A = this chain, B = another copy of it.
Amino acid sequence: MGRADDLIKRIQDNYAKLSKSQKIIAEYIINHYDKAAFMTAAKLGATINISESTVVRFANALGYNGYPELQNALQELIKTKLTTVQRLEMTEEKDEIAVLNNVLKSDIENIKETLHEIDKEDFKKVVSKILEASKIYIVASRSSIVIAEYLAFYLNLIRGNVSVVKPGVSDVFEQILRVGENDLVIGIGFPRYSKRTVEVLKYAKTQRAKIVAITDSLISPLTSVADEVLIAKSHMASFVDSLVAPLSLVNALVVAVGLKEREKVADTFEKLESIWDEYGVYISKQG
């Protein structure tokens, strides 16, 4: 237990006696410690509409000798991050409707931040690379697999030759063994980052494939071998990480790629419509 846990403990111990404004600061810090860690007291206050002096008093209320000491603790926290259990402990008891509101609003913020912070030039480059790649491998573990499957589903309709690399009857290295320099490998990883995903990307790099990472921050381990990085925010108001912004980003990739291949996509869907009609797969005409 180092300084990082210490900050959490201080917030917990002192929470009851914090003022309403100070509670807002506490909540912001817990959910956005990765940003707060690099803000001055003034910047932090401005972000949440609270005066700089209140921020400073908040640091004192937790027993720090001023804001810089609190900031150090925050930077420490980034290194180890909060465990699920800690985040759970910090979530206030709330009724269901309040949770519904908080989570959906938090996801709206995730998308807004993603739109604000994403590197637009990298986004354009990724669209081009998806169109140009000979074969596309999408690497993911655990819950990120759902984002990978969704992206693969649409890219297979639009351009084909896309596979999801995830453990199964073949191990991940068997699945990506033949990757080469004309191929694109898209790694999708959010905390907790899987060791295997990073290893697979490293292997692909040795084979001179193009590498794109879709992840939550520039300090994610997936970025180390990536040519382009697309950041999507995965904060959540409580004990789980949200994949909502990553999914929205993937939607944008799919539409951007699809519009570049409009004719092909129209042909594909027309063909599918007629097959689906013939075999009675779906209920209505809607696609």
Q: Which A residues are within 8 Å of any B CB, using their own CB? A: 80-85, 87-89, 91, 93-94, 96-97, 99-105, 107-108, 111-112, 114-115, 118, 120, 123-124, 127, 141-143, 145-147, 149-150, 152-154, 156-157, 160, 163, 166-171, 173-175, 177-178, 191-196, 198-199, 203, 221, 236-240, 242-244, 247-249, 251-252, 254-256, 258-259, 262, 265-266, 268-273, 275-276, 279-287
Contact = CB atoms under 8 A, between A and B. Distances in A.
Contact of A123 (B87, B96, B169): B96
Given A83-B285, A167-B167, 20 more contacts: A81-B284, A84-B287, A85-B270, A99-B252, A100-B118, A103-B251, A107-B248, A108-B111, A142-B171, A146-B169, A152-B169, A153-B170, A160-B178, A177-B271, A192-B282, A193-B286, A196-B279, A199-B279, A242-B251, A244-B251
Contacts of A94: 259
B173 A145 contact: no
B203 A283 contact: no
B252 A174 contact: no
Nearest to A100: B252
Contact of A115 (B104, B178, B259): B104
B142 A80 contact: no
A149 B169 contact: yes
A142 B115 contact: no
B242 A258 contact: no
A275 B247 CA distance: 29
Contacts of A249: 104
Contact of A146 (B80, B150, B194, B248): B150
| The 7 nearest A-B residue pairs measured at CB | A84-B287, A81-B286, A167-B167, A103-B252, A192-B282, A191-B286, A146-B146
A154 B240 contact: yes
Contacts of A255: 91, 99, 102-103, 236-240
B279 A173 contact: yes
B169 A153 contact: yes
Given A97-B120, A100-B120, A83 B240 contact: no
9 contacts: A80-B284, A81-B286, A99-B252, A154-B240, A157-B170, A221-B283, A239-B255, A244-B244, A247-B247
Nearest to A206: B275
Among A192, A258, A265, the one with the most B-chain Cβ atoms within 10 Å of its Cβ is A192
A238 B154 CA distance: 13
